[in-house]
Structures are given as structure tokens and as C-alpha cells.
Chain A
Amino acid sequence: MKNISTVIALTAMIILPSQFAVSQKVDSKVRDAEKARVAAIAKATQSTISVFAPGGRGGGSGVVISKQGYALTNYHVVKPCGNYMQCSLPDGKLYDAVLVGLDPVGDVAIIQLLGRDDFPAATLADSDKVKQGDWCFAAGNPFLLATDFQPTITWGMVSGVNRYQYPSKTLLEYADCIQTDAAINPGNSGGPLFDANGDVIGINGRGSFEKRGRVNVGVGYAISINQIKYFMDHLMSGRIVDHATLGATVYTDDRGRVIVDAILETSDAYKKGLRYEDEIVRFGGRSIQTVNQFKNVLGIYPRGWRVPLTFRREGKNYDITVRLAGVHDVEKLTEMIQGKPSSKPKGKPGDAKKSKTPRKKGGIPKAAKDRIEVRRGFANYYYNRLRRTEIWKAHIGAQDYSKLQGKWKISARASDGTVVQILLDDEKSGIQWGEDPYVLDPEKDLSEQLYPRQTGGLLPALHLWRRLLIQGPEKFGSLHYFGSLPLEGEKKYPHVFEGTFDVAVTNFFFNRDSHQLIAQEMFLDPEGNAVEVRFDDYQEVNGVMFPRKIKTTVSGRPTEIRFNKIEFQK
């Protein structure tokens, strides 16, 4: 007994002074730093998920970014899942989840976890502020180790930013990504990379593996969260989204300048004046000195984005804004992801239909099934319909444009003094531009009716505008929610509907706050020139809100056309 008590006393003495010493000697800064780190990891952990493909066909990680359960992961993680998967949260529960949107080139996917409206969402940081030498940590489920769904945390340093990684035998391109020495292993894919505060700076997805096998080699890459922010609305649209191209290729010359070595004459950049052998000086607000930097800028924007570009020719700088085209033909991209269209067509192509259970056993639970709508070209058409309906409802509000089925007669005057009479109708529309009358027959090829000539096609644009208002997005033709795109003068990127009627592709822009239809952009001209119309000064006319002013380009000059009298005929 005595011996034991002596031992206890001794042990106590050894422990107590050392504990005392610890509380004395540790700098409060060190304690604070430790506390902050523990808190950051605790915060980050709660929104980190594991993604499991049904039937044990693989998996990865992800991160919840909204209370409604929307979560980010990699395209290559959800690929084996199809449109249904199961996800775990660190609370130990397993949730059903469905695919929402895919960015196959950027290796990003959005899924939605179901069954709660209070999912713990992570905070998204501004990844442009991340610098080499910053601390960061990855959370996820490497090697699918965690059977209790507690994510594995690997701490590290930001090894590099604005890194460019070529597509490796696939179409996955990692542009402008964050490089880290935090251990990234198989299973970490799709999981978040956090800054030291526990806010998301990227989505882990790739490492430099090569000859060393598929385990951590101290070189992991995360897709920057700022890139994903540009794509967010696009991914939420349920589409398979595409990346962008300038329509020009560049090389670095021996003086370290980035020079255009080929350019498509149909590209917007060419139309804005960019030519072979011009030097790219700035692009997307960044100075350009290497091909990688150029590719980094291109890689972060979705198709259709407008980006400022400065080029230099003979010692003089030129500033232009270019609209980026898609890298892939839409059908090509669909084929790459969904295969060739089925040889035995069921119903009309493009028809939406409820998913049939593709799996033999168990099938998909009803809650998930209700949120899956298979349609060619879409990751999940359910979400496109959902967003489109939300935006359209917000736009029309309590108004009913569908009652305005008769002729629309508008008397107007352009800012250059021209008197303009507009008549819009289902059968035929017309415009009297000063002395010149034009008639549009919607049954005939619209691209041959770009009237009035000096506007590049204002009449067909307005004809389609009326069609959208009275028919609504369901009956317009083929029309889907595209995502958001920048628009000059708008601080928040407006929502965009992309509609196709005849050969005309038309984008309709909706303000995020007022929900009003603020702009239309029509691509009909075979040479690729767009007609842009801005709708402004909404006032009540016959019980509906209606623009009193439009802005467009006439003979290359910005022109305002004020509607003096608007008449809706029965």
C-alpha cells in the first residue's frame, strides 16, 4: 500500500509541475493559434461529406454549400453514380442525394442531399486572396477509411496558386488551380480544401501522380472556389456545362510575350479587332506573360462569358470585351458524357420523361426519384425546370402576359429622330423604320430576315420577345435556364434563359433583384453578329409592367428607342 501511494505521489509530482510549467511557458499566441485551428477544423468538418455510389461502385468526398443540401464534388466522383447517390455527414447519418449539374471539363459536379432543410453549409472564401505559403487543410474520406463518416483532416501549405494542369488523356482540365502539399489521396477527390479559418478555397481533385502510383506525392491540386462561383448558377441549372474558348491560340515568343498564332474569323475576338501576331497584354483583369496565365483565365469562365482583353499592336494598346464561345459543340459534349443518342427513339427527341429505375436491386427511393428527370443534354432536367419556373414566376409576378394574345402596336421614336412604328403578331410582324417598311414572316428562315438592316435584326428579336412573354418559357420552343452571365452595367450577374426558335438562339437576361427581363441577345446572323436589346423604364400598361424604352445598336451606334404609345389589341 505504502509503495503504491509513494508511486502515486511521485507520479503526481512529475505531472503537476509539468502541467504548471505548460500553463506558464506557452505563449498565449500559441494557445490562441491552437484554439483557432481546432475551431476551424471543427467548423469545416461538419459540412464535409462522403459520397458513395450505389452498389459500392466507388466514391469520394464533397462539401455542403447550402442549407438545402446542395453540395460540391468532382465530376469524376459522381460519374460512376449516375443520377443517384448516397452521402454521409459527420453526424453519422446517410442521406439520399441526386445529381444536379455537371462541369465535365472543370471536373466539378453539384449534387443535392435530401431530407433536411437545415444542412450545415460551409462558407466559401475568396480564393483569389489565397497566397503561396498560406496554411490550408483538406477534409475528406481518403481510401474510404471512415466508416463512422468522420472526415480525415490533412494539414498543409499552399504550394502554389494560379497553377495550370493540362488535361491528362481526358477532358478534365485544371486551370488556375491551387497546389498544396496537404496529403491528397484517392477518396479525397471532390472534398474541400479549406483555408486556416475553415472556409472553402477549393475542391480537391487531382495530384501529380505519374510514376509514383496513385497516392499522395505532396503535390495535390484543388479547383479554385472562385472558378466554381462563376459556374455556380450554370451548375445549378441541371445542365452539362461547357468551358470557354477565345477562338484563338497563343504562344510565348522568345521575348516572353504571349502572341496570337491563330484566330478564327468567326470568333468574337476577331470581330472586335484581334488579329494574328497581336500580343495579349491583359485578359480577364490579369496581366498575361505566359501561355499558362492565358489558359488560367480562359479556364475559369463558362461558355458565353464576357471578358475584358487588352492587346498590343505596333506599340499601341487596344481594350476590347470579348464574348467567349464554348469549347465543345453542344452535341459533342453530350455524346462524350452521355454517349450517342439511343437508336430507338422513344417519343420526340428532347422530350423530358421521368427516370426509370436503372438499377436491378432496391431502386431509387421516391424522394430522390421525384427529383430526377432524364433528358438528353442535361445532367438532371428536373433542376432546369425548377429554376426556370422560379425565375419566370418571379418575373411575371402577379401579371398575366398570356392575355395579350392580340397584335401589339407600338409607336416610338429613336434617339436619332427616326420615327418607328412596330407591329408584333403571331402570324406576321412588321416595322416601319422612318420611310422603310419591313415585314417578317416567322414561317420562313429568320436568318434571311434581319430587318431593319441597320439594326442587324431588331424585328425578329422583338418578335421572339413577344413570343416569350405571351407563350411563356414552356411553349416558346426549346428554352432552358442557362445560368448567369455578366451584363454591362449590372452589378449582379443576371439569370439567363437560352432559347432556340427556328435558327435563332436567343438569350433573355433577368435582373436578380427586380426579376425584370432587362436584356435580350439574339444570334441569328450567319456571320455571328449578335443583336442586343435592353429593356428599360418599366411602367404599367394595361395592367402589366412593360418597358417604355429599349436600347439597341443602329448603324454601329448605341441608340435609344422610346415607346410613346403602346396598344394591345384583342
Chain B
Amino acid sequence: MTKVRKKSTALFHIALMAACLICVDTSAQLKSYKNVVEDAQNKMVKIYGAGGFQGLEAYQSGFFISSTGEILTTWSYVLDAEDIVVMLNDGQKLNAKLKGYDPRTEVAILKVEVLNVDYFNLDKAVKLRSGSKVLALSNLYGVATGNEPASVQFGVVSAKTKLSARRGAFDTNYQGSVYVIDAMTNNPGAAGGAITDRRGNLAAIIGKELRSSKNNIWLNFAIPVSEITDSIDAIRSGKIIAQADPKAKLADEPMTVKLMGIVLLPNVVSNTPPFVDRVVRGSVADKAGIRPDDLIIEAAGQLTTSRNALENKLKTIERDTPVKLTIQRGRKFLNIEIDLNK
């Protein structure tokens, strides 16, 4: 009996200590949700690009991650446009440049010409636990226009899990860790929105709309900042770039897909994606393991959004230089090196 009592007393003390910690935490001057939301709004942007037909919305959400106009958002068809327009919280309308994106994590960085904007500091991003209170800011359903503030929702992190655990049910490129949120955060146009903690610190980016193929339930999830830091760093440092450097020197004897032994899908439209149609038996590509239906998403560190982009990039590479290709095969990503010298 006494033993039990001692144990429970000890537990009680621990509980008290924990409670005190929480007390300290909450008694620190907490801003009201209203004020937290107000502060966060200046960091939010509305993004307009391609789409607008067949249930594909031509808008999504994003937020500043530097004072000089870098915007973090989700890589999607919306950004596959000649003109990407960004609307700031104050209604200022700016043209944005796609700095780069990572097809694996499906994040993209845009750049607009502004100075001294409010932004979410990625270095101060916080991690959440199940049960953490969160705010979700996004322009879901394109409700807000001009200088109208983005929508805000309140929720709780229901679980921290991996999307890959739900493979087959949820069809998605991104397979890493996610926060599942109990609020209806993932609506049309919400992708690229910000998930913050109770104090307005950035924690995650709202993912794309995702519906279970099994039960038609929509999943409300967000990708933790820690999962995309590498992608962001790679894009920022120019390791993954969206557009070819127009000043790049053309190679004397350039590399071509033909030399590799790859036949691409015919170039029917200006931005036909570089899908492999056929691989010549016994060719370098064949030996390296490239297969029909592979999509070449990167060549020598540059994103190859189209056949033209791939071919232009190859024109800047001498044929005796090994080329690193990133291949998307179904939901898998493979790195393959093509070396004609081998």
C-alpha cells in the first residue's frame, strides 16, 4: 500500500512540475489569436497562374520567407505559366519569377521585386506535436481578392505520420512526414498556405488537395518545414534551377538524347514533358537503367519541365562530360548518371 502511495505521490509531483511548466508557458504574455493572425497576414500572398478550367483552380497560396521577396509555395500546374502574378496582403500586384522547385517535395520558390517585407523566418520554424494548436492561413477557394486578408482556420495536430504509410490510398509524389490536422485546411487554392503554432511561428506548409482513392475522404495535411529545408536550400543555392541560364555557353560538341540512346515522346506542344518513349537496346541509357515512360525531371541540376528545356540544357554540356539525370518513375525518384565514355 505504502509503496503504491509513494509512487502515486511521485507521479503527482511530476504532474505538478509539468503543470507548472505549462503554467509558465501560458502565463507568458500570449497574444490573442486575433493579433497573431493580424501579424501573420502581412507575410501571406495570393498566387495566380495557369488553370481556370475543368475544376483546376488558377490560384494558390504562398508566404514570404525573406525580406527581399522570396515566396515559398507548392509546386503545381498553377506555376506552369508564363505570367505568375502575386498579390500581397496590401493589395499590391506583382509579377513573380519562378526561382526553382523540387518535384520530390513539391515545393517551389518564387521571387518578386520588393524590399523589407514581413516574412516567416525558416530558421525559427517550430516543430509540432500531436495535440498542438495550429492556425492555418491560406486563400482557400480564392475567397479573398485584392487587399482582403487570407482565410484563417483553427485546428489541432491530430497526428504526425508519413504519407507513404498510406500508399495506394493517397496518390502523391511527396512521401515524407506530414502533420495531419483536424481542421478542413486542404481546400482548392489552399496549397502553399502557412501552418503556424499558437504564437504565429511557422511550422509547416499546407499540402495539395489529396483524396483517398479508397473512401473519397480528403486528407488535411501539411508538410513540416524541417522536411523541406533541403529542397529550399537547394533551390536557393541554385542547385535546382527552373530556367536555363541564357548566358550559358553552348558546348562545341553537345550532348544529345540520341547519343544516350533515348527516344522522347514527340514534341507536340511547346511544353511537352520529357517522357521517354523508347530506349535503344544496348545503348548507354539502356545500360544505365532508363526505361520507357520514365520522366526526366532534372538534368545536371536543372529542372527540365519540357523537352525543349531538356534539349537546351544538353546543348550546354560537352558530350564527354558525364550527365546526372533525375528520373521520375511512377512515384519513385531515381538518380542516374549517363557517361558516354563508359
Contact = CB atoms under 8 A, between A and B. Distances in A.
Contact of B8 (A14, A132, A179, A208): A14
A24 B23 CA distance: 11
Contacts of B23: 25, 27
B183 interface: yes
Contacts of B188: 210-211
A163 B16 contact: no
Interface in A75-109: none
A157 B183 CA distance: 11
B56 to A, nearest CB: 11
B143 A163 contact: yes
A160 B145 CA distance: 12
A157 B148 contact: no
B184 A160 contact: no
B81 interface: no
A18 B147 CA distance: 50
Given A27-B26, A208-B140, A217 B187 contact: yes
A181 interface: yes
B278 interface: no
A160 B143 CA distance: 9
The size bracket of the interface on B is 35 or more
Contacts of A134: 33-34
Interface stretch (B96-104, B149-157, B292-300, B323-331): B149-157
Contact of A208 (B38, B92, B141, B153): B141
Interface centre among B145, B150, B151 (most CB of A within 10 A): B151
B19 A289 contact: no
Given A17-B12, A132-B38, A181 B147 contact: no
A162 B151 CA distance: 11
Given A133-B32, A211-B55, A256-B93, A290 B151 contact: no
A18 B154 CA distance: 30
A202 B9 CA distance: 50
Contacts of A159: 151-153
B61 interface: no
Given A157-B154, A290-B146, A21 B12 contact: yes
B16 A212 contact: no
A292 interface: yes
A217 B153 contact: no
B152 A133 contact: yes
B16 to A, nearest CB: 6
A131 interface: yes
B333 interface: no
A252 interface: yes
Interface of B: 1, 4-5, 8-9, 12, 15-16, 19-20, 22-23, 26-27, 32-38, 41, 55, 91-93, 135, 140-141, 143-155, 183-185, 187-188, 218
Of all A-B residue pairs in the complex, the 4 with the closest CB atoms, nearest first, are A218-B184, A290-B146, A25-B19, A133-B37
19 contacts: A21-B15, A24-B16, A27-B26, A30-B26, A132-B152, A133-B35, A133-B37, A158-B152, A160-B151, A179-B143, A210-B188, A211-B55, A219-B140, A219-B141, A256-B92, A256-B146, A289-B146, A290-B146, A290-B148
Interface of A: 9-10, 13-14, 17-18, 21, 24-25, 27, 30, 131-135, 156-160, 162-163, 165, 179, 181, 208, 210-212, 216-219, 252, 254, 256, 289-293
